[in-house]
Structure 1
Amino acid sequence: MFMMFKKYWQNTHSKFLLLCLASILMSFQNSVQAQSEFHQLAKETIEKFPVETEFAIGMIINGKKRFIGFRKTPHGLEQVRNETDVYQIGSITKVMTASILASIANKGKIDLNMDTSQIYDTLYNHKITLKSLANHTSGLNRLPANFAESAIKNQSNPYMNYGQKEFYEFLNSNFELNNKEYNYSNLGYGLLGHSLEKVTEKSYEELLQEEIAKPLSMNQTTSNPSKAQNRVKALDAEGYVTAFWTFDAFKGVGGVLSSTSDMLKFLYATTQKSHNGINLSLKETHQISERQAIGLGWHILNTKSGNRWYWQNGAVGGFTSCLVTNPESGNAVVVLSNVSAYHPDMQYIDKLCFDSMQKIEKMIKK
């Protein structure tokens, strides 16, 4: 009787081991397939851009992190380890700013529905809440009316000359709001970032470090360019080295620098629900259209395949970036590049990001 049981147990155990091995092999093959397809997509995309273009790409596949880096040289493409190199992330900064707001609100130190008239006396005629700034429904224009005057002084670094003085001149002016529908607004995020500084009596950099970077061990993330190590060269549309954009009054709009390694830590927090502020920022706050919505900073896309993707992109003079995450599937992609916002093919960075995410999601479902 014992021998029969032993033989049965051995057979069952062997079958179980074979099933486990098959599962591991399939998972490995899927990972290799995804890596290969991702490489091909990246190579096809980077060929559109000038020599010295770099891509730093990160992906989370079913909870596991992967990094890929490419640099275009005069002699062809090089695969490089650049996940800790630092890029300016442009408007992905807005997701950081919204996450700072959500983190402070989650601690009960600020109310998402706080009216900005409680912060600025001159805004008493306008019903603008912090939440409406974070989801682009405040009614504010994309940029302040007096921005062009400052931007024209340095067209290669348009935010550099728009400081606190110019910002308060606008806030004190007799401006009007549009309707309260979705209207993407850099002005709104400039006001949000500055409001957070005033309410907390801390600088944007202090808030970024305390609420986001330090809790997630994002050691290469900063809004202070002088603190950033291993910075990638910013390129203009022709491929010549250009300046990093500098932000004064509008740091909360596009002033953050980061690496792919750090951005995957941020995206991993969205999939693990490990940061209460980020969790709150992902909650839908406004329906834009049948398939699109917005949380706090995060744009939300309901895909045709039934997935719900949270995304944001960024574009400044010397850099273009994109990230997308699916908290339910545990998959995410980030693409950081030194492709100029003024390059005619810059939209292919978004395409690379979304096409890669689509391939990963399809592969995981198989």
Structure 2
Amino acid sequence: MIPTFALLPLCLAGTAALAAPVLDDAVRQRAGELTRTGMHASIVIAVIDGKDSAVYGFGSVHAGTNIKPGADTVYQIGSVTKTMTALLLADAIVEGKVKLDQPVATLLPGYTVPAFDGKTINLLDLATHYSSLPRLPDNFAPKDPANPYADYTEAKQRQFLAVYHLPRAPGTQFDYSNIGYAVLGTALAAQAGSSYEALLQKRIAVPLGMRSTSNQPTHGMLARLAPGHLLSGEPTPAWDLNVVAPAGGVYSSARDMVAYLQAYMFRPLRPYALANQPQRPLAPDSETKIGLAWLLEQQQGHSYAWHSGQTGGYASYAAFTTDGKRGVMVLTNTARDVDALGLSALLPGTPLPPLKKPQAAIELPRATLAEYVADYVLVHSPSAEFTLTVTLGKQGLEAAGTGVGSAPLFASAKDQFFFRVIEAELAFTRDAGGKIAGAVLKQGGQDVVLPRKQ
């Protein structure tokens, strides 16, 4: 039974409340359960049917209160920001200011941009994650793990590009890159002779009437901001993404995101059409294509574009069917993904996965825990490696990865651990003599093998 305060439908368009698009019952029940059990602090789901839209809110904006989230509650949208940066690129192309195959170096004369055997990175490579740049730069070493991008400046971005060696030619392989989108946003702002924020406001937010959308939130937006939370439920500040803002720094509301998605759904010409036009496959054998940021898929006979996002205390999911009939935006102030919830809201009847029960931790002797203390290293290329450093503190084991802060580890069995601040597990492997030889990081359906540093 969903508490009466958990569901807040608000019709944004249509002649009467009855015209408001209906939220699928399974999605409604799941969102209510997620907030009621504390897995999410609050969830807002905006549903678009044609030119009608409605917003449904679950949970409370502030813990211990009945302040309901709604159409004007502000959240950080994370990597959904990339679709806005890509739209700025599409807009510049339509205006004849840049070309898709234009080398990014031509827009950044003060930069040294890496190339591979003479093959340069162009704007299409950056917008489709085919640049061969890594997910994060190798000089990313945050002073504050709770706000990791705050001290990553344009000067550091410039330094990274000047010394980085591409592992392969640009344009040959999809490899998701936050730093790639940071560079794209920097280049577009440089071409326009403005800041990224000014360009975002001038070309997207103001024309669409998005008054609660910004990389630099106003006092009014901050007053309506839903405070972020870790997976554990602990409060955490919103991230300041600095130069990486074009990859994930925008704040917005459900009301604004309805206007944003409807612009794609009902403006089939010019930059909106270019942005969600298929450009490249996600992989050689994949039916999923990528446009300019948007991922393009088919399911249940429907073609749709989508993108999700996550920062330290927030997650989001944006999608719309390419026939312009239905769209969905899901926002939450907990760092737990809402992709499945969003897809089921977009395409009613799409099964939701079973809810995972919180894992129970067991106690292991400190002598046993001490065996795991070491560096575990994955080498991507001669100039790029990821190191997971496991240490033993007063409260137990902690793990810190290159470019990210430290997080506690909890044992589920000997050699088996899990995190509570992120959805990931860490399994340790042993050699024939019983000594710890490596670790396997399990996250997002992938297993990353990390040999122990000798």
Shorter-chain TM band = 0.7 to 0.9
Q: Measure the CA separation in 2 of the matches of 1:29 and 1:35.
A: 15
Q: Relative to 1, partners in 2 of residues 1:335 and 1:115: Cα closer, same or farther, differing over 3 Å?
A: same
1:17-37 CA distance string (max 9 Å, x none): xxxxxxxxxxx69955x4545
1:319-365 CA distance string (max 9 Å, x none): 0111111130510111000012xxxxx23x11110111120799xxx
Matches within 5 A, 1:183-198: 183-198=175-190
User: Is 1:141 equivalent to 2:134 in the alignment?
Assistant: yes
1:38-67 CA distance string (max 9 Å, x none): 42232133345357x111110112331011
Matches within 5 A, 1:127-138: 127-138=120-131
Partner residue, 2:211: 219
Partner residue, 2:296: 300
Relative contact order, higher structure (CA 8 A, sep 6+): 1
Contact 1:293–1:301 (CA<8 Å) still a contact in 2? yes
Contact 1:311–1:322 (CA<8 Å) still a contact in 2? yes
Q: Measure the CA separation in 2 of the matches of 1:155 and 1:238.
A: 16
Among 265, 277, 295, the alignment partner of 1:271 is 265
Partner residue, 2:310: 315
Partner residue, 1:66: 54
Q: Measure the CA separation in 1 of the matches of 2:350 and 2:325.
A: 9
Partner residue, 2:102: 114
Contact 1:67–1:83 (CA<8 Å) still a contact in 2? yes
Contact 1:68–1:80 (CA<8 Å) still a contact in 2? no
Q: Which amino acid aligns with 1:292?
A: T
- Structural RMSD (CA): 2.7
Q: How far does residue 170 in structure 1 lie from its aligned partner after superposition? A: 0.7
Contact 1:70–1:78 (CA<8 Å) still a contact in 2? no
Contact 1:123–1:171 (CA<8 Å) still a contact in 2? yes
Among 34, 39, 43, the alignment partner of 2:28 is 39
Contact 1:90–1:254 (CA<8 Å) still a contact in 2? yes
Q: How far does residue 277 in structure 1 lie from its aligned partner after superposition? A: 1.7
User: Is 1:237 equivalent to 2:231 in the alignment?
Assistant: yes
Partner residue, 1:168: 158
Gaps spanning 5+ residues in structure 2: where? Answer: 1-17, 352-454
User: Is 1:89 equivalent to 2:77 in the alignment?
Assistant: yes
Q: Measure the CA separation in 2 of the matches of 1:100 and 1:177.
A: 28
Contact 1:141–1:183 (CA<8 Å) still a contact in 2? yes
Gaps spanning 5+ residues in structure 1: where? Answer: 1-27, 341-345
Contact 1:70–1:79 (CA<8 Å) still a contact in 2? no
Higher percent of residues as strand: 2
Contact 1:50–1:72 (CA<8 Å) still a contact in 2? no
State how many pairs are aligned.
Answer: 324
Q: Measure the CA separation in 1 of the matches of 2:208 and 2:20.
A: 29
Equivalent residue of 1:312, what SS?
Answer: strand
Partner residue, 2:418: none
Mean Cα displacement is larger for which, 95-104 or 239-248? Answer: 239-248
Q: How far does residue 252 in structure 1 lie from its aligned partner after superposition? A: 0.4
Q: Which amino acid aligns with 1:107?
A: E
Partner residue, 2:406: none
Partner residue, 1:249: 243
Contact 1:55–1:69 (CA<8 Å) still a contact in 2? yes
- How does the TM-score come out when normalised to structure 1? 0.81
Contact 2:276–2:292 (CA<8 Å) still a contact in 1? yes
Q: Relative to 1, partners in 2 of residues 1:36 and 1:199: Cα closer, same or farther, differing over 3 Å?
A: same
Q: Relative to 1, partners in 2 of residues 1:200 and 1:125: Cα closer, same or farther, differing over 3 Å?
A: same
